[in-house]
Structures are given as C-alpha cells and as structure tokens.
Structure 1
Amino acid sequence: MRYGVTLPPFMEWSDPLTVVQMAAEADAAGWDGFFLWDHVTWNPEWGGTPPIADAWTCLAAAATATSHVLLGTVVTPLARRRPQILARQVLTVDHLSGGRALLGVGLGGDYDYEVFGERLTARGDVLDESLAVLTAMFTGGPVDFDGRYHHVHCPPMLPAPVNGTIPIWVGGHWPNRAPFERAARFDGVVPRKADDETGLVTTDDLRAIRLAIGREDDFAYVASGSTSGSDDVAAVSEWVGAGATWWLETLYPFGGRAGQMRDRLRAGPPRIPSR
C-alpha cells in the first residue's frame, strides 16, 4: 500500500506558497503522493466565491520543494483542456521533479463547463481522443492523429518524460462502466460512487471494480477517505483486504478545518506495518 494526500487549492490553501509548504510537509512526513484538485471555478450550488489556485502551477513550484512524493492531479477534467497545453504542463512538472509527475483525468463537474459556455455533450468521446493525443505526445515522437474533435500533426513534444512515460489514473463514478473500461487501458483508477452524496465507494464496490478492470499487475487501485491519525491503521487495513494499492487521505479547508487538516498532513500516513 502507498499513501498520498489530496486537497483542493481553495480558500486558505489558494495561496501557492501555502500549497508548496504543504507539499514539503507531506514529503517530510513520509507520504508517497501529493495530489491537487484541478478546478477553474467554484460550483455556484455550493455558495460563495472562494479564491482558487491553478493546480499545475502549484505542482510545478512544489516540485522544487520536494524530493520523493509523486505530484499530480485528482483529477484534471481533460475534456475542457487542450491536450497540447496540458502535455507541456505535465512534462514541465515531470522534469522539475526528476520524473515524479502523475496525471489524473476525468470528466469533471458540469459547472466547470457550463459557466464558460463549453460543450457538455460527448465529453467521454472528447476525453478518449484527448487521452490518445496525450499518450502519443508522451512517447517523445511525432504525433499524427485525426479524430472527430482533435486533429493533431505535430513534431515530437520534447523533452520526453524522465522515466519514459507519465502514469495516468482515470477517475469515474461506479457503477458506470465506461470510466472503468477506460481506466483499464491506463495505470490506475480513482473511483467515486454515483448517486451517493458522499461519493465514497465501499470496500465491496472496490472488489467489484477490481473484477471489472481485471488488472493484477502494478495497476493502482485507489481508495480515499479520512483517518483520525497516523496510528489509525484499522481504517486502511480493510481497504488493503479489498485490494486497494493506494490510500489517499482527503484534506480540506472547508468549515474552518484548514488548521486541523494541515496537522493531519504533518502527522504522516497510517502505514500498516510490513510483515
């Protein structure tokens, strides 16, 4: 099991310097990954208009202040991004960090599209084409792609990834099948629960997801939630039994909890002792 933190660069954490400090704290505390939410605006249904920082800019800065944590997004709504711009951002973070970039992708919330007048239909098709373009760009070779939504004929997108590839995790809502069929083609899955207010999958859900994906190699099956502290191994143990290979501690500043959540980050992961 590997352990990461995921947090929104919102509110008190919208200050990029604060995000960089938190990445350094995560690195020092023994977490294996530091992952940011990637939003460009706030859901109007949530009320208020808090400040938000750009995820990839913050990760680029965090790369210079850390030494071992993987750095990435959970997740970037790829259908609203130009793949060539995102490729440049990811590759830049990869080289700044010495090969520690990871890209999480998904459809994202409707509000990130609607308020800018962007297409809501066919987002899954756009996502798949964008992934095809991105993965071709990450090979370090020229790209020739003609789809319905993307037409790309470009020279190599250099420099190539430090380690020859960029790991890609795919987010999706269970039990919708398409996101998990998509995830099976890449390096990991970050599941959420459809039609559930919390969005949290259960251990039984994860077992079903493992069966649906059918990967038994180094594929990342990601579980997420909150633990009470670094000694709360019981909360994580049940996920190991269900087949999770990553635990993401969900941190958030909402409800005035920024200080408490940052203390949780500094305390480190609830690692299960090796046998």
Structure 2
Amino acid sequence: MRFAVWVPLFDELADPLTVARLAAAAEDAGWDGMFVWDQLGWRAPVTAVADPWIVPAAVAASTERLRIGPMVTPVARRRPVKLLCEATTLDRLSGGRLKLGVGLGSDRFAGEFSRSGEEVDDRVRAGQLDESLEILKAGWTGEPVCHHGKHYTVDSVRFLPRPVAGRIPIWVAGFPGNARPLRRTVRHDGFFPVNLTSPNQLDDVVATVQSLRGSLTGYDITVAVSPSTDVRPYATAGATWCLTDFDPATLRPADVRAVIDAGPAR
C-alpha cells in the first residue's frame, strides 16, 4: 500500500507556498503522494479556496518523488480540451507524477454547481464525464482527435506534447453502492470509493471490480481514512493507496504538519 496526504485547499491552506512546503516535508518523511481537493467553495466556516491545478504545480516544483493531482476534479465543469492540456502540462512539469482523479462532483456539499450556473443533473454530468474521458485518452495518443458527441465537439485537433508516459492514470471516484461508477471505473486505472464506512464494504467493492475487469493487475483501489485509522484491514481488503483525510472545518497547517511528521502508517 502507498500513502498520501490529501488536503482541502481552504483558508490557511489556500496559500500555495504553504502547501508546497508541506509537500516537501511529506516527501522527506517518506509519504508517497500529495493530493488536493477540487472545490470552488465550501460551507462555513471556510472562506478562502485555492485553485487545484496551480497548487499542485507548486508542489511539483518543490518535490521530486511525490505523486500529485486533484482528487477529485468534477470533470463536467471543465472544457475537456482545456483539461487535457492542463493535465499534460502538469504531468510533464512533475516528470510524470500526475494521477488524475475524476468524478461527477456533487451540489449537495457546498451548492457550488447551482450557485455558479453549472449543470446539476447527475445524469447529464455523467454523460459529460464519459465524453471528456474519451477525449482525454484520445488526445494523449498524439493522434488527431475527432469527437462529435452529445456534449462536446473536437474536430481533428492534435494535442502535443504527450504526457511523459504517453498517458496519465485516471482514478474514477464514486459511491461504492452505485453500479454506474463501478462500470465506468473498470475502463480506466483505478477506483476511489468515497464515503466508505468499513473495510468490509471495501471487500464488496474489490470483488465487484474484479468480476467486471477479470484482473486487478496494475489497477489501483484508493481509500480515504482519518489519521488515527488502522489501515491494515483496508490493505487486506485490496486497497493499494491510502489517503489521509482531514476535517475541513477545523483544519490548520499545523495539524497537517503533525500528521506528515509522524510519517505514513506502513
């Protein structure tokens, strides 16, 4: 199992230099990754929010080994060709260390879709997500992309340069009891089941993914747990990455630094 620090870019952590310094400390302490939330806003008492692409760029420039990326980005609120270029640029800046977490997002946590004029229908956003992922994967081949879908059009556009490894790993987030995210995720590189309640629930997730894929070789199962959680049952259940989760309402840089300095729970 690999271990990452996963932070919301809120309030004091909306300072990219602060997060970059924390990432450098995490690398020194033996962590494997630094991932960030992708939100436009959050509930009170949170007031300030940083950009989830600029901050990982600062992290990439401050580290040499850590895996980085947004976890997760609600793809439907981004133009797919813009996302393609941003992801490729960040991947190349980091030397191929980007993991791209994607999902539908939700309006229920902070009302950020309805309050900013974005699509709130989950079914529509799901269609936008699937089309966008097709465009990303086609664009990373270096060949001209011809896509004429319900939501997006890309008319014979070639996207260069390519990512360092030729493509970027895509982790799909979703609630573990929903069939559609599971069917979507097996077409990509990993699954991030959100709001897991127990390792037993992860057992069911892993069994379902394996039955759909036929094999879990080279495939990641990511879990998010609080810093005090015993991660061994999750590893036994099949998790390959563990993200250390924090409460955004009370989070301070000193709290993150204390977890980082304690090192990953290997």
Report if aligned partners of 1:252, 1:258 keep a CA contact under 8 Å in 2: no
Q: Deviations 1:211-245 (Å, cap 9, x if unpaired)? A: 211142111011111233xxx7xx11111111111
Query: Which residue does the alignment assign to 2:7?
Result: 7
- Segments of structure 2 that go 5 or more residues without pairing to the other structure are none
Cα displacement string for residues 165-211 of structure 1 (whole angstroms, at most 9, x for unaligned residues): 1000000012011011111111111102xxxxxx2332111111112
**1:267 Cα deviation (Å)?**
2.1
Aligned: 1:263 with 2:258? yes
**Which of 75, 78, 82 is matched with 2:79 structurally?**
82
Map 1:134-173 onto structure 2 (within 5 A): 134-173=136-175
1:204 aligns with 2:206: no
The answer to whether the Cα contact below 8 Å between 2:6 and 2:35 also exists between their aligned partners in 1 is: yes
Name the SS for the 1:255 alignment partner.
coil
1:169 aligned partner, one-letter code: W
TM-superposed CA distance for 1:8, in Å, is 0.5
TM-score normalised to structure 1 length: 0.89
Q: Which moved more, 1:255-264 or 1:73-82?
A: 255-264
Counterpart mapping for 1:76-155 below 5 A? 76-110=73-107, 111-121=111-121, 122-155=124-157
Which amino acid counterpart does residue 206 of structure 2 have in structure 1?
A: R
Runs (4+) of structure 1 moved beyond 6 Å?
A: none
What does residue range 224-239 of structure 1 map to in structure 2 within 5 Å? 224-228=224-228, 235-239=230-234
8 Å CA contact 2:199, 2:237 repeated in 1? yes
Q: Paired residue for 1:179, among 175, 181, 190?
A: 181
Identity %: 41
- Indicate the RMSD between aligned Cα atoms, in angstroms: 1.5
Could you tell me the TM-score, scaled by structure 2's length?
0.92
154 and 9 in structure 1: CA distance in 2 versus 1, 3 angstrom threshold: farther
Matched letter for residue 207 of structure 1? D
* CA distance in structure 1 between the aligned counterparts of 2:197 and 2:180, rounded to whole angstroms: 17
Aligned ranges for residues 217-228 of structure 1 at < 5 Å? 217-228=217-228
* Structure 1, unaligned runs of 5 or more: 193-198
1:252 is displaced (CA, Å) by 4.5
Contact 2:44 2:249 in 1 (8 A): no
Number of aligned residue pairs: 257
- Equivalences for 1:26-105 in 2 at 5 Å? 26-42=26-42, 46-48=43-45, 50-105=47-102
Letter in 1 for 2:158: P
CA distance in 2, matches of 1:201, 1:145: 39
Counterpart residue identity of residue 95, structure 2: G
